[in-house]
Amino acid sequence: MPKKPEKESFVTEITPRSQDFSKWYLDVVARAELADYSPVKGCMVIRPYGYAIWELIQQALDRRIKASGHVNAYFPLFIPESLLNKEAEHVEGFAPQVAYVTHGGGELLAEKLVVRPTSEAIIGTMYAKWVQSWRDLPILINQWANVVRWEKVTRPFLRTTEFLWQEGHTAHETEEEAEAETLQILAMYKDTVETEMAVPVIEGRKSESEKFAGASRTYSIEALMGDGRALQAGTSHNLGQNFAKAFDITFQARDKSVQHVWGTSWGMTTRLVGAAIMVHGDDSGLVLPPRIAPFQVVIVPIGRDNWRETVLPTAQAIRQELAAAGIRVTLDDRDERPGWKFSEWEMRGVPLRLEIGPKDIEKSAVLLARRDTREKLGVPMDGIAARVRGLLDEIQQHLFERALAFRDEHTQRVTSYDEFKQVLEGRPGFVIAPWCGSVECEARIKADTQATIRNMPIDGAKPAGRCIRCDQESIAEAWFAKSY
C-alpha cells in the first residue's frame, strides 16, 4: 500500500469537529501547544503560543481600560477569611470554591487566609481607608491578576481552578454614575471581543439567579461557540451599596451628609482564548483572527535542495519588509518538507501563508494562502506589505461575518414550551423566548432542557407574548442556551 501523504496523516491527529467537538477542542489545545495539564489537578500551564494569544487580547483590553480613564493597581493574593465573610451573599456564593491557606512559615496561622476567588473584599477594605470626601471619587481601578476557584470539572481555558483575568473595581458618588460605569464597561467588553477576536456577542442583563454573588445587577456578553453552546465572555456588575455597607466605604457628600459609595466590578478572563478556538477553528485546527494571531504571516520557502542559496535570501528580505510594516511575521526555515510546514501552520491558525520558490522569484511574485477560505493568490513582491495588510483586514472582517452568520442561523424565536424543547433537542444555539421573571420557571426550564437564561436585552423593550413555561405575562424576551 502506498504511503499516505504526510499532510493527511498529520491532520488526522485532530478529531473532526463534527465527530466530537469536545475532543476536537482538547486536541487543538494540545496539538497547537496552547496549554498543558499540570501536576496540580484543574490547573493548566499556558504554553508560549497560547500565552501570546492571551497577551494580544490582554493588551487590546488594557489599552481600552486606560483610554477610558481607569488606572491599574495590584492587591494581595491572600484575603483574611474574616474580610470575605463580611458580605453575606458574596461569601455564600464563593464559599464552596474557596481555597484556604492555614499554615505559613511552618506555623498554624491565627486566621486562615483565603486565596482570592475575586477581590471585592480586599479592595473594598482599602477603599474604606482611601475615600473620605466626594472629592476622592470616583475611584477607577483595574487589576490584572490570577484568581483561584476550586472547580470539580475543568477544561483548559474554559474552566480552570486558577485562571488569569482583569478585575475592575470602581466607587462612585451616585447610583446613576455606577450604572453608567457598568454599562460603559459592558460596551467596552463587546467592542474588544468583536473587534479584536472577531467574535460577535449579545449584551444583556443576567437574571437574579445568574447574577454575581453580592451584586445588585449583573450584565454579560455572551458568544455562541461552534457547537451551538453559549459562552459567557465577560461580566460587569453594578454592586449598588452592598459592598460599601459591608466594608464601610463612606464619604462626606457635597451636602455634608455621610453616605456610602456606589460600586461596580467587572472582569474578563483567559477563557476568551477558549472562545477564539471554539468560534473560528475547523477540522485542521486553529483559525486565528489576525488581530490576536501571534504570527499573522508565515513565510515558507519552497525549492530544491539548494533553496537555502536560491530562495532564502529573498524570503528573509520579505520578512524584514513585512516586520518593518508592523506585521507579525515568522520565516519557517527548518529542514522539513514544505507540505509538512503548511499543515503545521494551518493547525496553528496562522491567517496568511506566504509561499516563495525560484519561479516566483523569477516573476518577482509570491503566493499567498488564506487560512480562513484556503484561497490562494499570486501577488507581486512590489508593495507586498500593503497587500498583506489589506488581506489581514479582510480576513478579520470575514471571520466576524462568518461567526455572525453562524449565530444568526442558530438563533430561533419561539412562543411555546413544546417548540422550545424541540428546538433545544435538535440543533443547539440561542433560543429567544418570553419569560415571566419567576425563579421557579427558570429552574424548571433548566431542569427540563439544561438551558439557562444567558441574558436579557438591556433596553427592556416591552416583550410580546406570555411566559413559555407558565403562560403568565412576560417581563422579558430572554436569550436561552446550553452553556459552558
Residue closer to Zn ion by CB (options 180, 475) is 475
Smallest separation, CB 466 to Zn ion (Å):
8
Residue closer to Zn ion by CB (options 128, 441) is 441
Q: Do β-strands 71-72 and 162-172 pair in parallel, antiparallel, or remain unpaired?
A: unpaired
**Residue among 114, 117, 91, 78 at smallest CA distance from 213:** 91
Residue closer to Zn ion by CB (options 408, 471) is 471
Preceding amide of 358 cis, omega within 30: no
Smallest separation, CB 224 to Zn ion (Å):
25
Residue closer to Zn ion by CB (options 331, 467) is 467
Helix axes 384-409, 271-280, angle to 10 degrees: 90
Q: Is 470 in the site for Zn ion (CB under 5 A)?
A: yes
Among the listed ranges 75-83, 168-176, 400-408, 460-468, the one in contact with Zn ion (CB under 5 A) is 460-468
Smallest separation, CB 440 to Zn ion (Å):
7
Amino acid identity of 246? A
Smallest separation, CB 229 to Zn ion (Å):
24
Among the listed ranges 220-228, 264-272, 440-448, 452-460, the one in contact with Zn ion (CB under 5 A) is 440-448
Q: Where are the beta strands (DSSP E) in 290-373?
A: 297-301, 329-331, 352-356, 365-370
For Zn ion, which residue of 463, 469, 477, 480 counts as binding (CB under 5 A)? 469
Residue closer to Zn ion by CB (options 174, 438) is 438
Residue closer to Zn ion by CB (options 354, 445) is 445
Residue closer to Zn ion by CB (options 437, 457) is 437
x/- site string to Zn ion, residues 353 to 372, per CB under 5 A? --------------------
Smallest separation, CB 469 to Zn ion (Å):
4
Among the listed ranges 23-31, 287-295, 335-343, 439-447, the one in contact with Zn ion (CB under 5 A) is 439-447
> In this structure, what C-alpha cell is assigned to residue 469?
413555561
> In this structure, what C-alpha cell is assigned to residue 34?
496552547
**Binding residues with Zn ion: total (CB under 5 A):** 6
Residue closer to Zn ion by CB (options 279, 436) is 436
Q: Is 475 in the site for Zn ion (CB under 5 A)?
A: no
Chain residues 127-186 in contact with Zn ion, contact rule CB under 5 A: none
Contacting residues for 383 by C-beta, under 8 A, at least 6 apart: none
Q: State how far the alpha carbon of 407 is from the alpha carbons of 224, 329, 396, in Å.
A: 6, 31, 17
Among the listed ranges 38-46, 166-174, 274-282, 467-475, the one in contact with Zn ion (CB under 5 A) is 467-475
**Residue among 138, 148, 146, 139 at smallest CA distance from 113:** 148
CA count, 13 A, side-chain hemisphere, 87 = 29
Among the listed ranges 70-78, 117-125, 197-205, 462-470, the one in contact with Zn ion (CB under 5 A) is 462-470
Chain residues 43-72 in contact with Zn ion, contact rule CB under 5 A: none
Q: Is 467 in the site for Zn ion (CB under 5 A)?
A: yes
Q: Three-class SS of residue 212?
A: coil
Smallest separation, CB 96 to Zn ion (Å):
28
Q: How far apart are CA 484 and CA 118, in angstroms?
A: 20
H-run or E-run covering 72 = strand 71-72
What residues form DSSP beta bridges with 113?
Answer: 80, 101
Amino acid identity of 305? D
Could you write out the DSSP letters of every residue in 24-58?
A: HHHHHHHHTTSEEE-SSTT-EEE-HHHHHHHHHHH
Smallest separation, CB 471 to Zn ion (Å):
7
Q: State how far the alpha carbon of 22 is from the alpha carbons of 18, 26, 27, 102, 279, in Å.
A: 10, 6, 9, 37, 13
Chain residues 236-255 in contact with Zn ion, contact rule CB under 5 A: none
Among the listed ranges 52-60, 130-138, 406-414, 428-436, the one in contact with Zn ion (CB under 5 A) is 428-436
For Zn ion, which residue of 441, 453, 476, 481 counts as binding (CB under 5 A)? 441
Q: List interacting residues with Zn ion (CB under 5 A).
A: 436, 438, 441, 467, 469-470
